A = this chain, B = another copy of it.
Amino acid sequence: MFDLLLLAPVGSILALGFAAYLAIFILRQPQGNERMCEIAQAVRIGAKAYLKRQYIGVSLFFAVVFIILLLLAFNKYLPIFVPFAFLTGGFFSGLSGFIGMAIATRASNRTAFGASKSLNSGLRIAFSSGAVMGLTVVGLGLLYISLGYYFLDWYYTSNPLAAGGNKIVAIVSVMLCFGMGASSQALFARVGGGIFTKAADVGADLVGKVEAGIPEDDPRNPAVIADNVGDNVGDVAGMGADLFESYVGSIVATCALGVAAGLGVVGITVPMALAAVGIIASIVGTFFVRAKEDATQAVLLAAIRRGILISAFIIVVAARFLIKFALGVEYMGLYWAILSGLLAGIFIGFSTEFFTSARYSPTRNLSDQSLTGPATVIIGGLALGMISTVIPVIVVGAAIIASFYLAGGAESFNAGIYGVGIAAVGMLSTLGITLATDAYGPVADNAGGNAEMAGLSPEVRKRTDALDSLGNTTAATGKGFAIGSAALTALALIAAYQQELVSQGKIVDLSLLNPRILVGLFIGGMLPFLFCALTMSAVGRAAGKIVVEVRRQFQEIKGLMEGTAKADYRRCVNIATKAAQGEMILPSLLAIVAPILTGILLGVDAQIGLLTGATVCGFVLATMMANSGGAWDNAKKYIEEGHMGGKGSFAHKAAVVGDTVGDPFKDTSGPSLNILIKLMSMVSIVFAAFVAKNALFK
């Protein structure tokens, strides 16, 4: 019979091939006039310069951790492949972000030019750029896992002694560590990029819009290029690395749980083949994202939705056959686990949209509250974000219960928890296309900046704004999705961590009332708050530096306001880069140091408590921050469309305060929390043997 595992490399190569095809399509589109190319180039250079510097910093970090892991491996705490898995995982995660950004920075002026023809032409280029990113992430992710699997399989088959008697257990125990490098890279990318983008954004707005009174994306603003660079390094490169990590993490954790559940190689085949099916479904789905040349915004949104739903439908059908062939009808429970994951993702998406889109009452009420000033907007936005956590928590809770019991958890805990892992993979299976809709947003945003700076006609700007606001809706959905899948993946990782401890002969008292578990829960519950505090203050400090520089340029460069002299864009990019690089270190170290230190001081039980507490609080807090931020942004946009007095009114000023507070919420702190909770689990897994042996509390 056909080896279903082969679907994985086939699917990943298909994804990469199709991404390459789309990339060529984009590069063949007309670039627009000279000014447009010039601006796009400036953004591209700035983004590259940032990434170069970021990769240098991250490389140092990777070198240090690599050496530590090598030492652990030499002392038999780890299989020797783990340090290399760490390096390669980090490399591929970074590469995903880099490719996504390389194409996004080339797509922005082409999108602007396309939009000068029609809304649909603009969408096609921007969406293709998003699809390149989405397919690159899933393609590289699955390729990386497949190659790793085949290599380890070959190695342990030729060296049965090294496998310690059980080849498949040896394989998954290395694969489980694939995620740590990816997560580290992702955390740096999200935090660093997030600080960069919001520092540039806030700095540009505070001086340019508020003090100097020039419009957004005005070429006279010295921070305008930095702002556009920020969209690319934060929202594109950061997101790419982030979701690469989610994807890889959920698949490898599920593989490990499958083997622990006694399914052998089939336990590995199911998640990998499911991911491959998802890739094919995503590719098919992208073909349905098209509309007529004169399509309106609503039609385009419907087109995007159609693409996602068709992909989901293909998975629903194909997964049934997959489970039947791979495992047999008696495992049909796993099929329902897949469905519960998929459904949960869709519900979370709807809930996010309901709470953050100006088409629904919550955000409209929020813009009403701007009539009584900034304080009520802030209170209203925080309350909105808090209440918006209810549905995602219930949906994720239902998905956990459903997938656990449908997969046979009542009889076997391991079978049930494997079901939860499968649900996470199911939720992420459509990532190729959902990420496309998410990553398309920043391209549209940049296209708008390009059109504005190049002085294209207002009609073009209006079209790019329509694309951008479409992007806001789809991006919010994508974020809810990322957060929901993170919760499931984190649970799978925690379970895998506990299995890892068991396999090392370490039995942990998992009772909720074990005081060390309780203390771990408290510490874990506090960490997301600490992490947010650190990243939000970092944005504040970095923005302050940009403010000083922009003010300086306006004062010192004569003729800047009149448009006769050019701003020094590069300096702003440099300042934001330096600030982001300096500020990302402390929060990132937290993710690595906190679990290890807690484990050593209070024992592995406290560490499991910490991971669980962080997952619970992190999930709720991340949802709240993403939705508060999204709602503030859209409430402001709603007012700018002419409601409550429109631009420049008292209500608008209040709404701008909300939007500024929401910036670090939704683009720096909130979306980094997903990575935080998964990286902490990954670190715990990799350091499990070391911590278990050296813990002061046994």
Contact = CB atoms under 8 A, between A and B. Distances in A.
Interface of A: 202, 206, 210, 369, 372-376, 378-380, 382-387, 389-390, 393-394, 396-397, 400-401, 404-405, 409, 413, 416-417, 420, 487, 491, 494-495, 498, 510-513, 515-519, 521-526, 529-530, 532-534, 536-537, 539-540, 544, 547, 602, 608-609, 612-613, 616-617, 619-620, 624, 656-657, 660-661, 664
* Residue with the greatest number of chain B CB neighbours at <10 A, chosen from A390, A405, A416, A521: A521
Contacts of A512: 510-512, 517, 608-609, 612
Count identical subunits in the complex.
2
Contacts of A620: 522, 525-526, 529, 617
Contacts of A513: 413, 417, 494-495, 498, 510
A540 B383 contact: yes
B624 A401 contact: no
Nearest to A613: B616
Contacts of A536: 379, 382-383, 386
A151 to B, nearest CB: 31
A518 B491 contact: yes
B383 A657 contact: no
Contact of A516 (B383, B401, B420, B523): B401
B521 A612 contact: yes
22 contacts: A202-B375, A372-B544, A375-B656, A378-B378, A379-B536, A379-B539, A379-B660, A382-B661, A385-B533, A386-B536, A387-B530, A389-B526, A390-B526, A393-B526, A405-B515, A417-B513, A510-B513, A512-B609, A525-B620, A616-B616, A617-B620, A657-B657
B404 A540 contact: no
A681 to B, nearest CB: 13
A400 B619 contact: no
B616 A522 contact: yes
Contacts of A413: 513
A40 to B, nearest CB: 30
Given A510-B513, A511-B512, A518-B612, 8 more contacts: A369-B540, A378-B378, A379-B536, A384-B533, A401-B602, A416-B515, A521-B612, A616-B616
Contacts of A525: 393, 525, 616-617, 619-620
A417 B661 CA distance: 43
* 7 cross-chain pairs, A with B, having the tightest CB-CB distances, nearest first: A386-B533, A375-B660, A387-B533, A397-B519, A525-B616, A386-B529, A393-B526
| From A372, A383, A612, residue with most partner B Cβ within 10 Å | A383
A376 B536 CA distance: 10
A375 B657 contact: yes
Contacts of A518: 400, 491, 612
A380 B369 CA distance: 22
Contacts of A608: 512
B386 A657 contact: no
Contacts of A379: 536-537, 539-540, 660-661, 664
B515 A409 contact: yes
A619 to B, nearest CB: 7
Nearest to A511: B510
A656 B375 CA distance: 9
B394 A523 contact: yes
Contacts of A544: 372
B657 A206 contact: no
A535 B619 CA distance: 22
A500 to B, nearest CB: 13
B519 A378 contact: no
Contacts of A522: 393, 396-397, 400, 487, 616, 619-620
Given A379-B536, A404-B515, A518-B491, A624 B394 contact: no
A554 B352 CA distance: 42
A405 B515 CA distance: 9
Nearest to A396: B522
Q: Of A375, A524, A624, which is in contact with the most chain B CB atoms at under 10 Å from its CB?
A: A375
Contacts of A375: 202, 374, 656-657, 660-661
A540 B376 contact: yes
Contacts of A656: 375
Given A393-B523, A400-B519, A401-B519, A374 B657 contact: yes
A100 B405 CA distance: 53
Contacts of A609: 512
A661 B420 CA distance: 40
A376 B523 CA distance: 28
Contacts of A664: 379
Contacts of A534: 383, 387
A375 B374 CA distance: 9
A525 B616 CA distance: 6
Contacts of A539: 379
Looking at A515, A516, A624, A661, the one whose CB has the most chain B CB atoms below 10 A away is A515
Given A533-B386, A617-B617, A657 B373 contact: yes
Nearest to A387: B533
Nearest to A416: B515
Most buried by B among A373, A387, A533, A619: A533
B372 A529 contact: no
Nearest to A515: B404
Contacts of A523: 393-394, 397
A540 B617 contact: no
A553 B404 CA distance: 61
Given A374-B374, A521-B612, A383 B206 contact: no
A206 B616 contact: no
Contacts of A380: 537, 540
A400 B515 contact: yes
A524 to B, nearest CB: 8
